[in-house]
Amino acid sequence: MATTTFPTRDDFAAMLNESLGGENETFEGKVVKGIVTGIENDMAVIDVGLKSEGRVALREFAAPGQKAELNVGDEVEVFVDRVENSAGEAMLSRDRARREAAWDKLEKEFEAGNRVEGVIFGRVKGGFTVDLGGAVAFLPGSQVDIRPVRDVQPLMDLPQPFQVLKMDRRRGNIVVSRRAILEETRAEQRSGLIQSLAEGQVIEGVVKNITDYGAFVDLGGIDGLLHVTDISYKRVNHPNEVLGIGDTVKVQIIRINRDTQRISLGMKQLEADPWEGAAAKYPIEGVFRGRVTNITEYGAFVELEPGIEGLVHVSEMSWTKKNVHPGKIVSTSQEVDVKVLEVDEEKRRVSLGLKQAQENPWAAFAEKHPVGSTVEGEVKNATEFGLFVGLEGDVDGMVHMSDIAWGVSGEEALQLHRKGEMVTAQVLDVDVEKERISLGMKQLEGGGSGSGGGAGAGAAGGVKKGETLTVTVRAVQDAGLEVQVGDDGATGFLKRTDLGRDRDEQRPERFQPGQKLDALVIGFDRSKKPNFSVKALQIAEEKQAVAQYGSSDSGASLGDILGAALKEKAEAATEKSDKAEKKTKKK
């Protein structure tokens, strides 16, 4: 009788593995083909030839944003994660299968540098997610388009090409770019378009962008720069004064750089050049009316017609206003009359004069006030060599210090007048070309100091300029003395500085009301009241004494000369007193 041998547990395991073909080793972690045997509750039951079937969610068979289309009997590829789970079913994944297949394909395309197709289906921090046929890639926000895109919604769920920038299968990281595709396509279009363009060609374009220096015009796939100076012959301060984004404009191609693919455009080149024949239209010495368009430190630009501007240099702006900013003479948009001084068509320059189109005030003064006539004006300024007097027509005349007064030195004469004082002078000379007027004040006195001048010359209230009078102190002030001629004569003022030549003498407090003193009439104030000076009288008496008692070879000192003069003056006064006393006794 034969002996029956029963298989052990290990034998059963070996036979099971043999019947399954060793699927634990050959199926797990791989993509296999299976048959859909049923669809239950949004799950697909799939048989891949294992001892048990697996279940896969239907959504894994659908593309992003679409519904799965799967039927019983369809053959599909799935990824075997595990042969058997705790429920005894095979763990399958369609997503993993698609991902593995997609990675294999993407690696080949990445190595070859080819484009891949994908769909933007979600938004994440810093960018978007892209489905590349099962593999999920990251699309940075900066790689969506050539320019920033505000609304990406029209680009989502739409199959489109991408360029793979980086891949790391171990970390499951893929970075793609849509911008690289657009730039490549654009470069191809630009290269083709730029070959079809030629310098001098007239073409239409659309204003795409406006900057301070010009506008960018889209010529149908390639941009050209329309510089602000090429927009119009007339002055354009900013391109937005003429152009707006979206405007269709006709331009001429000025230059093409095929290496850098840069195109320079112009609009004014399509207009008539206003500078042609400008010399004939604007002859030298011609006077024309224009509009001030711009003001600078060195002058003002005046538009004679659209496209032709001339410069009025600051030196040609005013006859009388010197060293002032042009903005204080004219204002922007002001219409002015100008005279053409020079025209250069080749350099497109016109030199204009503003003052030349106006009457020369120096010539007008010379015509109205010939040499020898008398004028009146206000002392505008006092310098070390004379006085500047403001005259009619906004011109100034100068009274040299030697022509201010008789009997005093030029330095002393300058001290007799102050800024703001009204004075009368005689016209000595007028030089229109050099813009100079020479005046004299002492010439109206009719002679030297003490002569009294001509009848009525420099006189007011019976008092004549240059006359020596005895005055009575009426009031003592810090600024000087208020004095009166005689008991009921003219009242005037004697300034502190005119009380004497020495500083000790220039103290008003050393005088008392009622005290009498001799003083020289040196001028009149605005109210025609006389101004007196003891200092001027002292200087005049000193000169007279030197002339009478001294000489260049006498050897006498100034003290001797003044002593002799004072002695004679005292003797004359004594003699006059004795005569008066005898006359009184006879009576």
Q: For the chain, list the domains and their CATH numbers.
A: 27-112 (2.40.50.140), 113-183 (2.40.50.140), 197-270 (2.40.50.140), 284-344 (2.40.50.140), 361-445 (2.40.50.140), 459-543 (2.40.50.140)
CA–CA distance, 431 with 314 (Å, rounded to integer)? 22
Q: Would you state the pLDDT for residue 449?
A: 40
CA–CA distance, 71 with 278 (Å, rounded to integer)? 87
| Residue whose pair of structure tokens reads 């933007």 in the numeric block | 120
Q: Would you state the pLDDT for residue 523?
A: 80
**Structure tokens given for 565:** 């003069």
- Taking alpha carbons only, the member of 137, 129, 77, 80 closest to residue 107 is 137
Neighbours of 91 (CB within 10 A): 18
- Write out the DSSP string of 546-565: HHHH--TTS---HHHHHHHH
**Structure tokens given for 525:** 């104030």
Antiparallel, parallel or unpaired: β 299-305 and 287-295: antiparallel
Judged on CB neighbours under 10 Å (0-12, 13-18, 19+), 519 is: buried
**Structure tokens given for 135:** 């593999």
CA–CA distance, 248 with 218 (Å, rounded to integer)? 9
CA–CA distance, 43 with 60 (Å, rounded to integer)? 10
Q: SS3 sequence, 160-182?
A: EEEEEEEEECCCCEEEEECHHHH
CA–CA distance, 436 with 427 (Å, rounded to integer)? 11
pLDDT averaged per 10 residues, the chain (length 587): 53 52 55 77 75 71 67 75 63 69 81 87 90 86 84 87 88 88 78 78 88 87 85 84 88 84 86 83 90 91 88 88 87 91 88 88 86 89 88 88 79 82 88 88 62 44 80 89 83 87 87 90 73 87 71 48 55 56 52
Sign of CA dihedral 16, 17, 23, 25: positive
CA–CA distance, 31 with 28 (Å, rounded to integer)? 9
Q: Would you state the pLDDT for residue 324?
A: 85
Q: Would you state the pLDDT for residue 188?
A: 73
φ and ψ at residue 175, rounded to 5 degrees: -120, 130
User: What's this model's pTM, rounded to 2 decimal places?
Assistant: 0.43
Query: How far does CA 43 lie from the centroid of its chain?
Result: 74
CA–CA distance, 39 with 66 (Å, rounded to integer)? 18
- Taking alpha carbons only, the member of 155, 150, 126 closest to residue 138 is 126
CA–CA distance, 117 with 155 (Å, rounded to integer)? 13
- Taking alpha carbons only, the member of 335, 328, 297 closest to residue 313 is 297
Q: Would you state the pLDDT for residue 311?
A: 92
CA–CA distance, 457 with 260 (Å, rounded to integer)? 87
CA–CA distance, 222 with 218 (Å, rounded to integer)? 6
